[in-house]
Amino acid sequence: MSDNHYFAEINMSIKQYSLQEIKKELAQLNDKQAIELCLRMARYKKENKELLAYLLFDADDELAFAENFKHDIGLAMSQVPSHSYTATKALRKTLKLINKYIKFTGSKQVEVELLLSFCRNYVEYIDRRTSHKPLRLILVKQLEKTKKAIVKLHEDLQFDYNQEFDTLVDEAVARLPWLYKHDLIL
């Protein structure tokens, strides 16, 4: 029997537990044990550390967190390269970070705030004459995603964000010659 064949037959996986089972087990730990587990998870993966830092230091004021991050989004997008291919890569990287922080907060309002900020910055900083379809699709997809997120908010917030969204779309259509309002699925 070859070594490769031997390793292929061994199925060494950690049993998957439900969140309910994990919650029960965590409830039985004392404070020191819980702290040790959290620190061990934070050391294991960068995203775990970032989530833990968010929960400890920023989760109590989600909108202030969003405001700070919106500033970072604007700064990053003001420095996006002019070449379409590299601009597309930079925007996808920015969106990946935005989506990670949206996931951390779990707040639809923060999601709308960050997506609107991204779209506003796109309209302001990205080359309006671009013919690079992937670069164009980024804005279209984010506008659609923003509209879907607005619908999930409380109706009072929906009204305010719908007005802001409509203004943004009108501004984008006026500034970007390739964007047509009737082409958007909103």
Measured CA to CA, the distance from residue 140 to residue 184 in angstroms comes to 7
Averaged over 135-162, what is the pLDDT? 95
Q: Is the pLDDT of residue 8 over 60?
A: no
Helix or strand or coil: residue 23? helix
Residue 9 scores a pLDDT above 60: no
pTM score, whole prediction: 0.82
Task: Calculate the average pLDDT of the chain.
Answer: 89
78-127 confidence digits (pLDDT tens): 999 989 999 999 999 999 999 999 999 999 999 999 999 999 999 999 98
Query: pLDDT tens digits for 62-83?
Result: 999 999 999 999 999 999 998 9
The pLDDT value recorded for residue 12 is: 58
Look at residue 121 in the predicted model and tell me its pLDDT. Answer: 96
Contacts made by residues 57-65, CB under 8 angstroms, sequence distance 24+: 59/105, 62/105, 62/107, 62/109, 62/110, 63/109, 63/110, 63/113, 65/101, 65/105, 65/110
Distance (Å, whole) CA 106 – CA 89: 26
Distance CA 85, CA 78 (A): 16
Task: Render pLDDT for 152-177 as a digit per residue (tens, 0 to 9).
Answer: 999 999 999 999 999 999 999 999 99
Give the whole-angstrom CA distance, residue 99 versus residue 105. 10
At residue 180, the pLDDT reads 86
